[in-house]
Amino acid sequence: MLGDGLMAIFGAPLPLAGHRERAVRAALDMLEMMEGFNQEQARREAVEVRIGIGIASGPLVAGFTGTQQRMTYTGVGDTVNLAAHLEAHTKIVGRPILIDERTRNGLGEGFRVEAHGPTQLKSRTQAVPVFSVAAPPRS
């Protein structure tokens, strides 16, 4: 948990086949669950909740940190920072799931992906190709 957010790592501590697709499917599942939650919120005339998800693929340092009394498993590095910047950029682009080029290149054909071109993200020296992922059409 990171304040009002969370971080999930796919492929650590052990390599995970299809980690990119698994991460994107998890993001799509989260959006579907939020849709159901928000339908219930609307029925109760309560506040609806929107989420943004950033997914980046690449190397990171993962492991336990903290003390013996309170320990957590986390990841740090440029890939983690890029995912956080993508998540923040969802508000600007108006798309709930943004992914980087490495993630895009590791996805199969079963995903609806839209290119948003090179984008200058906070604390990046060069523009980063950004893509959004949309839920597949319902049958």
Radius of gyration of the chain, Cα coordinates, nearest whole angstrom: 16
What integer pLDDT is reported at residue 6 of this predicted model?
87
Please report whether residue 96 resides in a domain.
yes
Of the CA atoms within 13 Å of residue 28, those in its CB half-sphere come to 17
Q: Beta partners for 32?
A: none
| pLDDT, position 1 | 47
pTM: 0.91
CB 22 within 8 A of CB 70: no
Q: What is the CATH number of the domain that holds 40?
A: 3.30.70.1230
For residue 59, being part of any structural domain is answered with yes
Element (H, E) at 22: helix 19-43
Taking the chain (139 residues) in runs of 10, the rounded mean pLDDT of each run is: 78 92 96 95 95 96 92 92 96 96 93 95 91 79
In a domain, 104, yes or no: yes
